[in-house]
Amino acid sequence: MVVKVAGMSAEVAADAPEHDDNRRFARHVPVMVAEVLDALQVRPGGVYVDGTLGDGGHLEAVQARSQPGGRVLALDADPAAVERARERFAPYQGIVIAHGNFRDLLEIAERHGFQAVDGIVLDLGLSTRQLGGGRGFSFSDDTPLDMRFDPSQTLTADDVVNRYREDALVRVIRDYAEEPRAKGIARAILRQRPIRTAREFAQAVAGVAARGQRINPATRVFQAIRIEVNQELASLEQALPQAIQMLGPGGRLAVLSYHSLEDAVVKRAIRQAAHTAAAKVAVVGPKLRRPSPEEVRFNPRSRSARLRVAERIAGR
């Protein structure tokens, strides 16, 4: 997850402007805010968790709806996002902000006194600010290959691109980009080494990656490298059972994903929990919700969003 996390939409990267200008990334528009509030049934006095703080769009909406008396814990793996949020939300009531990856959700929540919560939101998309943050997330970037959500972690995109063996690169591209030309792309990367910037990387793979798609052919390969660097799918697989365990009776989990790999993990976790007596859940409303045509027109980067919602069954 994005990451935030956790994870970034492939289409989000494709929408990055040709000339990277941080001023263009100054404002992040949160996705499906009304739908998330409705899905979580946010109410005054409720207790909630935002496991993917980002630029704080969902946090702000949940906090406002939960007042008076509501409490919200928000966390993010990106320390820069945490620092900005602590400054921005300092005057707000009932907000606790913590640095950490949502794979440690249960431990972080217990440390801050959040148990049996009424709702949890996970937005797995990368924030607009991260796209323009000079970490190599956008293939229009001339900045070094990094792609870490948390700069304290060791592995970087440079390590993956320039040090992985061919078979390891093929695995990453095949499994995380679902790219049929994974071997050819891996060999193109090896031929172009050393590759130092995101723009160089995009140029190295664009001639080999499958064309004829509505998104840049390098997009899915960027997605694959970013998932590998941040172990996004593994973190999501760890986070979802913890989130479900944290819900009180009637509590709800809302997850926004942006590509099929993330959505498959979410769908599988909800299905498994539906058959688990210890923390049983039920799908709420449509199994899959998408942004409205109006939202997509206003915010094209929302077009790939998928929202799934589950509710902890009372009495379990």
Q: Which of 230, 250, 282 is the last residue of a domain?
A: 230
Angle in degrees, CA 176, 79, 107, rounded to 5:
80
Residue-wise pLDDT for 2-21, tens only, equals: 333 333 333 333 333 333 33
Quote the number of domains for the chain. 2
| CATH number, position 173 | 1.10.150.170
Residue 160: count of CB within 10 angstroms of its CB = 20
In this structure, the answer to whether residues 19 and 98 fall within a common structural domain is yes
pLDDT at position 17 is 30
Residue-wise pLDDT for 214-251, tens only, equals: 667 688 899 999 999 999 999 999 999 999 999 999 99
In this structure, the answer to whether residues 156 and 210 fall within a common structural domain is yes
Joined tokens for residue 29: 């528009």
Neighbour-count burial for 52-75, b at 16+ CB within 10 Å, e otherwise: bbbbbbbbbbbbebbbeebbbbbb
How many Å apart are CA 124 and CA 118, to the nearest integer? 20
Q: Is residue 2 part of a domain?
A: no
- Which residues does 163 contact at the CB level (< 8 Å), separation at least 6? none
CB 48 within 8 A of CB 118: yes
Strands 95-99 and 71-76: parallel
How many Å apart are CA 158 and CA 221, to the nearest integer? 14
Q: Which of 178, 202, 230 is the last residue of a domain?
A: 230
Host domain of residue 159: 139-230
In this structure, the answer to whether residues 218 and 252 fall within a common structural domain is no
In this structure, the answer to whether residues 157 and 23 fall within a common structural domain is no
pLDDT at position 244 is 96
pLDDT at position 58 is 97
Q: Is residue 178 part of a domain?
A: yes
Beta strands in the chain (DSSP E): 47-50, 71-76, 95-99, 117-123, 247-257, 281-283, 306-312
Beta strands in 58-143 (DSSP E): 71-76, 95-99, 117-123
CB 247 within 8 A of CB 253: yes
Q: Is residue 308 part of a domain?
A: yes
In this structure, the answer to whether residues 117 and 147 fall within a common structural domain is no
In this structure, the answer to whether residues 79 and 109 fall within a common structural domain is yes
Joined tokens for residue 77: 């793996």
In this structure, the answer to whether residues 124 and 16 fall within a common structural domain is yes
CB 147 within 8 A of CB 141: no
Residues of the chain with pLDDT under 70: 1-27, 127-134, 209-215, 217, 314-316
Q: Is residue 248 part of a domain?
A: yes
Q: Is residue 4 part of a domain?
A: no
pLDDT at position 13 is 34
Residue 294's Cβ-count burial label (10 Å; 0-12, 13-18, 19+) is: exposed
pLDDT at position 278 is 75
CB 7 within 8 A of CB 259: yes
pLDDT at position 214 is 61
In this structure, the answer to whether residues 187 and 44 fall within a common structural domain is no
Neighbour-count burial for 11-31, b at 16+ CB within 10 Å, e otherwise: bbbbbbeeebeeeebeebebb
Angle, nearest 10°, between helix axes 232-246 and 260-273? 30
In this structure, the answer to whether residues 38 and 83 fall within a common structural domain is yes
In this structure, the answer to whether residues 113 and 260 fall within a common structural domain is yes
pTM exceeds 0.85 for this model: yes
Q: Is residue 18 part of a domain?
A: yes
Starting at the earlier edge strand, list the strands of the sheet with 117-123.
95-99, 71-76, 47-50, 117-123, 247-257, 306-312, 281-283
